[in-house]
Amino acid sequence: MRKNLRVLTLILALIFGVSTMAFAGPIPEITILTTTEAYDPIRYEAAFLIKEAWEKLGLRVNVQPLEFSTLIQRFYNEQNFDIAIVGWSGRVERLDPQHFLGTLHSEQTDVGGNNPGGYFNPTFDDLFEKQAVEFDVNKRRELVLEAQAIAMVEQPLSILFYRDEVVAYNNTTFKGFVPMAGEAIYNEWLPFTVEPVGTSRTLTIGTSQEPDNINPLDSTTVWGWKFMRLYYDKLVRLSPDIEPVPWAARSIDPIDDLTIEVVLRSGMTFHDGKPVTVEDIKFTYEYFMEKDFAYFRPFYRPLDRVDIIDSNTLHFILKEPVANFITVTMSQIPILPKHLWENIHDPSQLSPDEVPTIGSGPMKFDRYDRGEYKRLVKFEDHFRAREIDIDAIDYIIYADTEGVFTGMITQQVDMTAWRMEPAQIGLAEQETHLSVVSVPDFGYYHMTYNLRTPPFDDIKFRQAIAHAIPKRTFVDVLLDGRGEPGTSVIAPVNTFWHNYEVRIYEYNLDLAMGLLRQAGYQLDSSGRLNFPE
């Protein structure tokens, strides 16, 4: 009956010129998750600019600002979103392309992984896996460039912008700050470089960000790790010049393509007085592997096992040769005390009070009052304690960036943990007690689509709306020119690894609408965009 009716309709259309256009139904309202205006006004405003542009295409868009930890929970741990505007910070170990490319690997699509949007492309995965084991840097570069090109064509996410890291410190209280690419002055060398100018030996940091948690087997944000990495040691630290420095390891030597020998530094202790042993190192790496903490999976993925050779020596046995295991993996995994963690069977279920906060790092955990205050104190028994000229680091947690800036102006804090807003920078430069530091960032802000649901599962739809994202406005207006429009997951400032020939999606609403129509999307009589029939 339905078939006959359809045939009759087509005949009538041919005879009388009656339109037979049918729609599969309107695209449901799209919700863009972003931060609150107080937490990050740039991301907040960017979401509304996108909404304004997309509604001109016939889409219905709702912007839902969320408190930061709630946004992260929805995005990573629930994967409950249409679109989320989030970001990756440019920590120094991420200058190697392994991390940012890994955020699009299909192995990271499970809950808690770094690919919440669910992007899967076997060719991309193959390129990612090949570049990780390629020791010839030029051959590896070609693989990295090709992977970026694929991602830009398929648009599983849109890189919105790269934002300069502009921070300030009080030059009347402390000096010696050493900026690092992507991190400015709040980096893991801070305790060793900063020097008191006055009488205070407590460095006070103002921040409007706080950790999602301080569980090393559950934290997935930079604000968790920028705090924890000061009280955990690692086998390797990356210098301000981005060179690997043996840290808890006295020496690291590749024995062959699959074996790396690590000799542990002697005399190290945890903050509870227990010695750091080779058993702790073996336990730490294999514990991360056993619990399969997805956030760190790209780092321990190449590792097969850790063998203890003697009381000071371990062999890391790899599944396959990996070009960056020492610089990336060994600089990331925090050393855990076996005696505190070995009986914790499900670390992801620990309450905040149950999380062990004992490391062996240069600073010791002292206190964390959520939403208000954090404190670290100097660990006098650390092997480099003599290089530390401060007694403690206090963190004052403000409700918003304006509160942090006021704290800087009134000298309640000595430095900012994160970048200032564009309108604050010029004001800070007028204050004689403040020194402003600016470094380019190789991290980025991105808008990730949930590819498991229509219309975001349609590559043609994603390519079309990529032309309806006003990236130049983000930079020129919201950032006051302090940044660059987004292109690839490897930022242009990372010159060797960035692909300068990736497909660029210029802002053009007419082009966006034309591409949508070519893909079968049509406007109905009310101006609402409908799915292809």
- Structural contact between residues 374 and 227, judged by C-beta atoms closer than 8 angstroms: yes
Q: How many angstroms separate the CA atoms of 361 and 377, rounded?
A: 11
How does DSSP classify residue 269? Answer: B
Mapped onto helix, strand or coil, the DSSP state of residue 530 is strand
Q: Do domains 165-231+361-439 and 236-341 have the same CATH topology?
A: no
Closest CA to 394 of 165, 173, 219, 233: 173
Give Dmax (Cα) for the chain: 93
Burial classification of residue 176, based on how many CB atoms lie within 10 Å of its CB (0-12 exposed, 13-18 middle, 19 or more buried): middle
The amino acid at 247: W
Write the secondary structure of 417-439 as one string of H (helix), E (strand) and C (coil).
Answer: CCCCCHHHHHHHHCCCCEEEEEE
- The arrangement of secondary structure in 236-341, i.e. its CATH architecture, is Alpha-Beta Complex (3.90)
Q: How many angstroms separate the CA atoms of 320 and 318, rounded?
A: 5
Bridge partners, 373 (sequence order) = 369, 396
pLDDT of residue 22: 53
User: Rounded to whole angstroms, what are the CA distances from 361 to 6, 90, 99, 179?
Assistant: 73, 22, 24, 21
Mapped onto helix, strand or coil, the DSSP state of residue 50 is helix
- Overall pTM > 0.75: yes
Distance of alpha carbon 63 from the chain centroid: 22
Bridge partners, 253 (sequence order) = 261
Q: How far apart are the first and last CA of the chain?
A: 20
Mapped onto helix, strand or coil, the DSSP state of residue 155 is coil
Closest CA to 92 of 196, 234, 211, 287: 234
Q: Interior CA angle at 61 toward 60 and 62, to 5°? A: 130
- Which residue ranges make up each domain of the chain? 19-163+442-530, 165-231+361-439, 236-341
User: Rounded to whole angstroms, what are the CA distances from 417 to 170, 408, 484?
Assistant: 13, 11, 22
Q: How many angstroms separate the CA atoms of 107 and 113, rounded?
A: 8
The amino acid at 289: M
DSSP string computed for 310-363: SSSEEEEEESS--TTIIIIITTTPPPPPHHHHTT-S-GGG--GGGS-----SSE
Q: How many angstroms separate the CA atoms of 354 and 337, rounded?
A: 15
Structure tokens at 497: 């690894």
Q: In this predicted model, what pLDDT tens digit does every residue of 438-482 receive, in sequence order?
A: 998 889 999 999 999 999 999 999 999 999 999 999 999 999 999
pLDDT per residue as tens, the chain (533 positions): 434 444 444 444 444 443 344 568 999 999 999 999 988 999 999 999 999 999 999 999 999 999 998 999 999 999 999 999 999 988 877 888 999 999 999 999 999 899 999 999 999 999 999 998 888 889 999 999 999 999 999 999 999 999 999 999 999 999 999 998 888 999 999 999 999 998 999 999 999 988 989 999 999 888 899 999 999 999 999 887 778 899 999 999 999 989 999 999 999 999 999 999 999 999 999 999 999 988 888 888 899 999 999 999 999 999 988 888 998 899 999 999 999 999 999 998 999 999 999 999 999 999 999 999 999 999 999 999 999 999 999 999 999 999 999 999 999 999 999 889 999 999 999 999 999 999 988 899 999 999 999 999 999 999 999 999 999 999 999 999 999 999 999 999 899 999 999 999 999 999 999 999 999 999 999 999 999 98
pLDDT of residue 429: 96
Q: How many angstroms separate the CA atoms of 20 and 8, rounded?
A: 11
Indicate the CATH number for domain 19-163+442-530. 3.10.105
Indicate the CATH number for domain 165-231+361-439. 3.40.190.10
Q: How many angstroms separate the CA atoms of 111 and 113, rounded?
A: 6
**Residues sharing a CB contact under 8 Å with residue 70, sequence separation 6 or more, in sequence order:** none
Structure tokens at 275: 């010695």
User: Rounded to whole angstroms, what are the CA distances from 515 to 25, 240, 351, 451?
Assistant: 19, 46, 49, 19
Q: Are strands 392-397 and 83-88 parallel, antiparallel or unpaired?
A: unpaired
pLDDT of residue 322: 86
User: Rounded to whole angstroms, what are the CA distances from 69 to 30, 35, 357?
Assistant: 21, 9, 20
Q: Are strands 483-485 and 157-163 parallel, antiparallel or unpaired?
A: antiparallel
Backbone phi, then psi, for 447, in 5-degree steps? Answer: -115, 105
- Structural contact between residues 150 and 403, judged by C-beta atoms closer than 8 angstroms: no
Q: How many angstroms separate the CA atoms of 262 and 496, rounded?
A: 30
Q: How many angstroms separate the CA atoms of 19 and 474, rounded?
A: 42
pLDDT of residue 90: 84
How many CA atoms lie within 13 Å of 256's alpha carbon, on the beta-carbon side? Answer: 5
Beta strands in 67-170 (DSSP E): 83-88, 157-163, 165-170
Q: Are strands 83-88 and 444-449 parallel, antiparallel or unpaired?
A: antiparallel
User: Rounded to whole angstroms, what are the CA distances from 54 to 173, 275, 508?
Assistant: 49, 59, 11
Q: How many angstroms separate the CA atoms of 89 and 75, rounded?
A: 16
- Structural contact between residues 68 and 237, judged by C-beta atoms closer than 8 angstroms: no
